Amino acid sequence: MLHHDPQQQAAPAASQPRFRIVDFAEIPGVPCPCGIARRAFTDDPVYPGTVHRTDIDRTAEPHYHQKLTELYYVISCEPGAVLRLDDEQIPLHADMLILILPNVVHCLIGVAKLLIVVLPKFDPSDEFIVREPVH
């Protein structure tokens, strides 16, 4: 039977912190197809993705990613907000979590605040706007 011996674990490099703390209020917002995104861990060599705190506004555009997978966690949203996923519209409310796989056209219709986990790291060249009317 194998036993775990904490003494045999490889110690992290002295220069590499064992945790990260992000204050989204200190991250500058950047325009995105949804509104304004604050992106954390973009340059972190250890974390394999990025985490965004995004304020969605009424100018959101339908788009998709060929390589990125996204998790949308709804922090808050206005009544009547919906998430378009391909040809379906999903009514939203706080505390929902939605997994969006590559090549799914998505667009939030309404106003919302989201936490978005992106894997692998966000790449702006993998963001494709769909020029068609939102249903």
75 part of a folded domain = yes
Look at the chain and report how many structural domains it folds into: 1
Mean of pLDDT over the chain: 89
The per-residue pLDDT for range 44-77, each reduced to its tens digit, is: 999 999 999 999 998 899 999 999 999 999 999 9
DSSP secondary structure letter of residue 1: -
Give the span between the Cα atoms of 110 and 105, in whole angstroms.
16
Average pLDDT over residues 87-105: 98
CATH of the domain at 70: 2.60.120.10
Q: Please, which residues have CB within 8 angstroms of residue 79's CB and are 6 or more apart in sequence?
A: none
Give the span between the Cα atoms of 18 and 84, in whole angstroms.
38
23 part of a folded domain = no
101 part of a folded domain = yes
Residue 119: which domain range? 29-129
